């Protein structure tokens, strides 16, 4: 299970449309097994989506994101947990423990539907990855 987190200076990058790097984290059985920082090659939405697809990203955790880019990414089969803020290690811990819905990780001002991914991932340890596995097997 691969999760990409938009990153800037050890924090979640504030707007994915403008982010320059992602941290690609692999998880197995509720544990992080590897992480690597990857340069996002282009700000063009089409190329950004393609790069995520080529990296076989299952989930994207990011800050603010425009509706059109979010829709392109979800149409590509990648689940998006958007409007997340905080230090990377805290966010990863929150992700593993299913606590990203908490206010400490929430950015102010997001549109309805932007945090749909969180609604499914909000409760329970490891629920995100169980749901992600289920979604991938449906695809």
| Cβ atoms of residues 58 and 35 within 8 Å | no
| Cβ atoms of residues 107 and 85 within 8 Å | yes
| Binding stretches for another protein (CB under 8 A) | 8-9, 13-15, 17-20, 44-47, 49-50, 63-72, 75-76, 85, 107-111, 114
| Shortest distance, position 12 Cβ to another protein, whole Å | 9
27/85 with CB nearer another protein: 85
Sheet strands (E) in 10-137? 11-12, 21-28, 31-39, 59-61, 79-81
**Encoding tokens for residue 107?**
């950015």
| Shortest distance, position 83 Cβ to another protein, whole Å | 9
| Cβ atoms of residues 95 and 118 within 8 Å | no
1/73 with CB nearer another protein: 73
| Shortest distance, position 61 Cβ to another protein, whole Å | 15
**Encoding tokens for residue 42?**
């282009």
Distance (Å) of CA 66 to CA 1, 34, 125: 25, 29, 29
4/27 with CB nearer another protein: 4
| Shortest distance, position 74 Cβ to another protein, whole Å | 8
29/112 with CB nearer another protein: 112
């Amino acid at each position: 299970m691969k999760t990409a987190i938009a990153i800037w200076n050890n924090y979640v990058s504030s707007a994915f449309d403008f982010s320059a790097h992602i941290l690609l984290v692999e998880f197995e059985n509720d544990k992080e097994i590897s992480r690597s920082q990857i340069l996002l090659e282009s700000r063009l939405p089409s190329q950004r989506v393609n790069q995520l697809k080529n990296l076989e990203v299952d989930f994207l955790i990011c800050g603010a994101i425009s509706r059109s880019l979010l829709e392109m990414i979800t149409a590509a089969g990648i689940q998006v947990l958007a409007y997340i803020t905080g230090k990377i290690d805290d966010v990863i811990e929150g992700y593993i423990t299913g606590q990203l819905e908490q206010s400490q990780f929430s950015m102010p001002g997001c549109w309805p539907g932007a945090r749909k991914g969180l609604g499914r991932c909000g409760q329970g340890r490891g629920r995100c990855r169980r749901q992600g596995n289920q979604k991938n097997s449906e695809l």
